[in-house]
Each structure stands twice: as C-alpha cells, then as structure tokens.
Chain A
C-alpha cells in the first residue's frame, strides 16, 4: 500500500507533537509556572522560543499546554464519538420512534452553532476540566450522530443486510458483521475530524477565557496571555497559534487521505 507524502508528513508531525507533549515532564527545559527570564525575551539559546508576558519559558509551557490541549481534545472527541456512533447506529437500525426522537433532539442542538450553545451553558457551569470535556463532547456528538446514522442507514438498505435478515441473523450480527465493517473508513476519518474540531474548540474557549483556567494552561490560553504583546511588537502569541495551526493541518491531511481510500471497496486484509 502506498501512502502519499502529504499524509506521511501529517502522520509524522502528529506523532511528534503527541510524543513530545506526553513526555513534557521529562523533555521540558523549565517548569510550567517557573519565571526564568525577563518579560517577552526573544528566542535565544537559553529560551529556544523566547519567554512570555511574565518571563516564563514558552517552549516549556508549549509542551505542558500541548498535554492539556491534546488530552482534552482526545477525551471529548472520544466521548462525542462513542455517544454519537452508538445513538446514530441505534437510530438507523431501530428506526421508528427511536430514530424520530433522537433525530429531533439533535436537530434542536444543531440549530444553533456549538460555540453559542457552549457560551450559554458555560455561563452557569463551573469551568473545570470535566465540565469542559462533557460540554464539548455532548455538543460535538451531534455531528457524529448525523454521520453514523446516514452511513448506517445507507448500508442497512443493502441487499446483503436484507439477505442476513432473511437468514434469521440477530441484531448484533447485522450491526457488527454486516454494517460496521463497511462503515469503518468514513467513521475513522470522522474521528480525525472530530479530534481536530475539539482542538479548535477548546483552544477557542481558552482564548476567550472560558476554557482552561490558570495556573494551568493550553495553547489557546497561551495566545490569550500573550496577545497584548503584538501591540508592542512582541510576537510571543504567534508560537502557540502556529502550534495549533500545524496540528490542525496535519490531522486534516491524514483524515483526507483516509477518506479518499473509502471509495475502494476491496476487502480488509491489507488494511
């Protein structure tokens, strides 16, 4: 199997970011909240990416912040994915009132952009990690629901599913052996999209001051902390912004590649 160069690069970048963030405790040169230099120092041999608005090492904070960003995004997209896929398949296979009820609920949730709903809800809820993951996961599960319901509904009307029903197969065989293997590729690509959406979402919330709260930080929060610097010609805010951009583009390229392979119907032995 040939992997195109862009997807390979995307995978490499993703892997590197993931690895360095997970290992932040060991690879970061300084502590998360350690003031080690002057305010907004330029990059140097001591501070590879410079220092922030109160003299902390940006590289170290980037690594620790990446840990938070990636963890929150992974947790909330996993939540979104399992909820959305479960209810989506349920709606497609069961049909009837189950489908109608679930679909109407999702319609209402999707009638307004998730950011607005999140802002309204976060005006009441405490800004803690579990709340953020829960809010983002539930809001985002609506998209997974729509996709998995559509994919499963497309497959459920195929003659081979009908043939399985006529054979007398049970619901679990039909879902796990007939439908799921054929729904895998679009769902895996969707997981990539959901993950990246969650990265953007938590970054945006933190940037607005409604996400990760100090003393913890994430990449969105770091942009917020350093944004005043731009007025004085200090570009410290650009570092975490670039990190978000690079991760987003890398995941997108990989998801694109997975999606482009779904057109091939050939069996799953080699992938």
Chain B
C-alpha cells in the first residue's frame, strides 16, 4: 500500500538575527525521514528545540516565521509538495491535511462564532454544502463529547472552556474529512484531569474517521496511548524510530531509555517528625474580592523533609505559598515557623524569618534580574544577611556554584547566557546562600524539559540530604510528587482534600477527587488509557 505521507532527508533552516551580530543560518531539522500509511498515527517526541513542531508543519509544506524547507522531499498522496506553488499548497491545506494547535484559545478568531470557523474549510474548498457541513460539525461535537452539540457552534471562543476549545479545534480539523491531521501538543496546556478526556476524545475521533495523524508532544506517556509508531527527535535529528511497543518497552538508544525511565527516582519517605513549619487553619482572599482562595488550610513540614502540595490550576496551591511568605497576608489562622509565630504580612517579619524561609520560582527567567551577573545574584543574600564582602563573598559564591554543579566561571555570566536548567540551578543557589531552614519550590520543574527537570529534582534531593533543608514543593505533576515527597497535601478549590504521609496518601481507599487525579496521570505503558476509561465506565455503571 502506498504511503500517504513520506518525508525523505528533510532539511529545514531558518535565519537567526542575534542582536549586534551578522545574521546566520541555523539548521532546525537535519535529514529526517518518515513515512505514514493511511489511518495510522505517528508520534513525534522530543524536548523543546528538537524540531518536532517544525516537522509537523512541514507535512503541510508550511514554515512558521521565515522557516524554510531547504532540502529533501515531502511526498503527500504521491506528489512532492516541498517547494510547490502557493495555489497547490492552498488546495491541499485544509483539504488533505489539517492542523490542531497547542493553544486553541489563541488559534480561534475571537470575532467569529465557532461554527463559522469549524465549517469554513469545508465551504471555501467546496467540499460540502453549508447544511451538510453544519450537520457534520454537530455530529463531531457530539462524538467529541461537547455539551449541547446543536447549540455549541453558536458560541464565541471566549465563551467556552479551554478543554472544550481544544475539542472544537479537533472538530475543525476533522470536519473537511482530511487524509492527515497534525496534532501539535493538543493537551499540553490542559489540566491533567481535562487532558485525559481530550486525549480519549481525540483518539476515538481519529479511529472513528479513519484518518492518519501526526501527534506531537514532549510527553512520551501521552504519545504511547495514541501512536502506532514513535519517532524520537533531538536537536533536529532522528534518535530512534520504531513501533510504539518497541520504543516504550525495548528502547534501543540511551536517550530514549532516559526518556522512558524519567521521573523514576526512587525516594523512600522519611518518618514524620516534629514540624518546622505549621500552617494552622489559614484562610486568605485577594483584595477587593469576596471569595476565599484558601479555606482553613492546615499542613505541616518536618525539618529536612519535603511536603508536596499538589493540585490543578485554581486549586490554591500557589496562593498557599504567597500566604506563607507573607505576600498575601492570611485573613485567619496562624503560621508557625521554627518555633516563632510569623506575622501575616511581610512588613512585620524579622530578618531571620525572611532569611530562613526562601523561595524558588517556576520561571527562572523572570526570577533573576537580567542586568545582574550570576555572581551578584548569588552574592547579594550573602552580603545582605551575613555581611560578606570581597574575597570572602567570592569564595562562598564559588562554593555555592560548586554545590549546584556549575563551575565558578559562571559567576561572570548574565542570566541570558544560561540554559533553562542552569538558570534554575542559579535560583537554587541564591536560596541556599541564605542558609534557609525551609525552601518553598513553586512548580520549579514545570517549565523544563523532562530530563533537565530530573536533574533539578536529583540536585534538590542531594542538597536536602546534605544541608538538612526542608521543602514545601508545589506542583501539578504527580510523577514529581512521587519522586520527591515525604508528605503530600492534595488541594482542590482552596481546600486540602487529602493530607498525610506519601504512602498513605497514594494508597486506597481514595476520596473521589484524589482518585480522579491519580488515575488521570498518563502512565508509560500501552493500553493504559483504555484501562482507565474502561474502569471509569464500569464504576459509573455500578453506581
């Protein structure tokens, strides 16, 4: 059977314009070959900058923002479309290949109704009449599990939720009956409990319609659920390409093995001990609102241990961090730290309170002043809290850089010259410089690629073992929780719904929300999605 899509030795280049230097050509994709039969799903996986989205768009012969397809061939339905004329490309885009973007919220035109946008391709390419297209769209809305399928199309993009928009975008891609659909990280921006629903809907729709698909993601566990074949990419080159079963269960390359075994850090929980931080029935709300974002939250952290606070967006987990640091003074309740009762607001806290309670942020990029060198950034707490100056300070900065596994040469560099992982390490060093008793880590690994994130987690664990510092670790990612926590607090809509030692929290019997949350986290094995959905169906039938 002839391949629907066959890419041979594809080379993709772009021109970069570094400020103050001559423009230069960079190669984004180098000699990648792929083939895809009708009705099959190919997963493209890799870290940021691996070129996976670029290859996905190349299947439509589209280069985003000055990206050029400079070599090899892209055969779609038997003809080479690389370098084809604008008219040919317009004919095939939307008719033979369609695209589902990561952020549906931005990819829909805010000024037009959803129905207009979903059927637009069908009408402009004259694939079907308006009534037929509308009927098909409603049918797709129903299949994708959207509420009120008949009325759904009459709404504007801002009137529906993110998960619904992502499904509407899938409907838009499937509506003109294409041969191939490109899914570009369609569930990455969603909460984990929403992700599983959208993932299931997409998978069902793909099989139902018999289309072929390219599924792009950085999450191997997700792609394992939908893809027949997987290609692992790194720096624009193919690392490994094979059937899903082989990639997941018998990875041939070291890099693939690392991706498969990511977050499998074995962490034995420590026994509970007298706490260093106690949050007792804390309630908080933002100024000018009449809604409590934290409702009587009580947790405790033991010295040298990690409490993981886990929850989805809107659960109040980051607000808890703001209440503890004093940025958002708690309305009611008490916070006790190292035997002292902390003032609710920042202004009322002593210098020792501030020093012993440090914070690391999600976005290391914005957490460091771009005009200060790494040496200044790490050196400032030394100067501020301990009065260190000159050679003494430089010596301590070098020690700290050593602790985060970076050489002392980095002291002279600016944040813009560091990689994402290095930036986060510098932030860790800045927190350590204050010799804290507790560090609040707010989603510190969420913005990083899985392998880099793993490195950060290992470093944090090592530092805890050596320095005896406690962590309050805020995250939405349960794999991270397993890897680092001694205790866990599960938050939902401002309340702690489950709290205790890690082994207790993660063992049944569960409350409904924790059950939903835990069972929604994709697992790195084939057939997991069907298993979970089957179990959920049985349970709801049993009720």
A–B contact (CB under 8 angstroms): yes
Q: Nearest chain A CB to B277's CB is how many angstroms away?
A: 15
Per the bound structure, the CA–CA distance linking A189 and B434 in Å amounts to 38
Per the bound structure, the CA–CA distance linking A2 and B19 in Å amounts to 10
A48 at the interface (CB under 8 A from B): no
A163-B370 CB under 8 A given contacts A2-B20, A168-B354, A266-B416: no
A267-B371 CB under 8 A given contacts A158-B366, A167-B354: yes
| Residues in chain A near residue B354, CB distance under 8 A | 166-168
Contact status A159-B384, CB under 8 Å: no
Which of A1, A162, A267 is most buried by chain B, counting CB atoms within 10 A of its CB?
A267
Residue of A whose beta carbon sits closest to that of B376 = A177
| Residues in chain B near residue A178, CB distance under 8 A | 369
Q: Nearest chain B CB to A171's CB is how many angstroms away?
A: 12
Q: Nearest chain B CB to A163's CB is how many angstroms away?
A: 6
For window 348-363 of B, CB contacts with A under 8 Å fall at: 349, 351, 354-355, 358-359, 361, 363
Per the bound structure, the CA–CA distance linking A166 and B439 in Å amounts to 12
Contact status B20-A267, CB under 8 Å: no
| Residues in chain A near residue B381, CB distance under 8 A | 167
Per the bound structure, the CA–CA distance linking A1 and B21 in Å amounts to 8
A214 at the interface (CB under 8 A from B): no
Residue of A whose beta carbon sits closest to that of B377 = A160
User: Which residue of B20, B370, B380, B417 contacts A1 across the interface (Cβ within 8 Å)?
Assistant: B20
B406 at the interface (CB under 8 A from A): no
Contact status A163-B19, CB under 8 Å: no
A263-B19 CB under 8 A given contacts A166-B325, A166-B327, A168-B384: yes
Residue of A whose beta carbon sits closest to that of B442 = A159
| Residues in chain A near residue B325, CB distance under 8 A | 166
| Residues in chain B near residue A169, CB distance under 8 A | 384
Per the bound structure, the CA–CA distance linking A169 and B351 in Å amounts to 10
User: Which residue of A159, A181, A261 contacts B371 across the interface (Cβ within 8 Å)?
Assistant: A181
Per the bound structure, the CA–CA distance linking A263 and B370 in Å amounts to 12
User: Which residue of A160, A165, A264, A268 contacts B19 across the interface (Cβ within 8 Å)?
Assistant: A264
Which of A160, A165, A263 is most buried by chain B, counting CB atoms within 10 A of its CB?
A160
A160-B380 CB under 8 A given contacts A167-B354, A265-B416, A267-B414: no
User: Which residue of B326, B351, B370, B430 contacts A265 across the interface (Cβ within 8 Å)?
Assistant: B370
B346 at the interface (CB under 8 A from A): yes
Q: Mark A127-168, 1 if CB is under 8 A from B, else 0.
A: 000000000000000000000000000000011101101111
A182 at the interface (CB under 8 A from B): yes
| Residues in chain A near residue B355, CB distance under 8 A | 168
Per the bound structure, the CA–CA distance linking A264 and B349 in Å amounts to 37
Contact status A163-B367, CB under 8 Å: yes
| Residues in chain B near residue A261, CB distance under 8 A | 19-20
| Residues in chain B near residue A265, CB distance under 8 A | 370, 414-416
Contact status A160-B384, CB under 8 Å: no
B103 at the interface (CB under 8 A from A): no
Contact status B370-A267, CB under 8 Å: yes
B231 at the interface (CB under 8 A from A): no
Contact status A167-B363, CB under 8 Å: no
Contact status B20-A167, CB under 8 Å: no
Residue of A whose beta carbon sits closest to that of B21 = A2
B104 at the interface (CB under 8 A from A): no
User: Which residue of B349, B351, B361 contacts A163 across the interface (Cβ within 8 Å)?
Assistant: B361
Per the bound structure, the CA–CA distance linking A266 and B369 in Å amounts to 11
B222 at the interface (CB under 8 A from A): no
Contact status A159-B363, CB under 8 Å: yes
B373 at the interface (CB under 8 A from A): yes
Per the bound structure, the CA–CA distance linking A159 and B362 in Å amounts to 9
Contact status A182-B369, CB under 8 Å: yes
| Residues in chain A near residue B259, CB distance under 8 A | none
Contact status B414-A159, CB under 8 Å: no
Contact status B371-A163, CB under 8 Å: no
For window 165-207 of A, CB contacts with B under 8 Å fall at: 165-169, 177-178, 181-182
Contact status A181-B369, CB under 8 Å: yes
Per the bound structure, the CA–CA distance linking A158 and B361 in Å amounts to 11
B368 at the interface (CB under 8 A from A): yes
Contact status B416-A160, CB under 8 Å: no
Contact status A160-B369, CB under 8 Å: yes
Contact status A162-B19, CB under 8 Å: no
| Residues in chain A near residue B349, CB distance under 8 A | 168
Q: Nearest chain A CB to B390's CB is how many angstroms away?
A: 19
A167-B367 CB under 8 A given contacts A263-B19, A265-B416, A266-B414: no
Q: Nearest chain B CB to A46's CB is how many angstroms away?
A: 48
Per the bound structure, the CA–CA distance linking A8 and B236 in Å amounts to 40
Q: Mark B133-149, 1 if CB is under 8 A from A, else 0.
A: 00000000000000000
* Chain A residues with a Cβ under 8 A of chain B: 1-2, 158-160, 162-163, 165-169, 177-178, 181-182, 261, 263-268
Of all A-B residue pairs in the complex, the 10 with the closest CB atoms, nearest first, are: A267-B414, A264-B19, A181-B371, A159-B367, A265-B370, A168-B354, A160-B369, A159-B366, A159-B361, A265-B416
Subset of 21 A-B contacts with CB under 8 Å: A1-B20, A158-B366, A160-B369, A162-B327, A163-B367, A166-B325, A166-B346, A167-B354, A167-B380, A167-B381, A168-B349, A168-B384, A178-B369, A182-B369, A182-B370, A182-B371, A263-B19, A264-B20, A266-B19, A266-B414, A267-B373
Add 5 more A-B contacts to A162-B327, A165-B327 (CB < 8 A): A159-B366, A166-B325, A166-B346, A266-B416, A266-B417
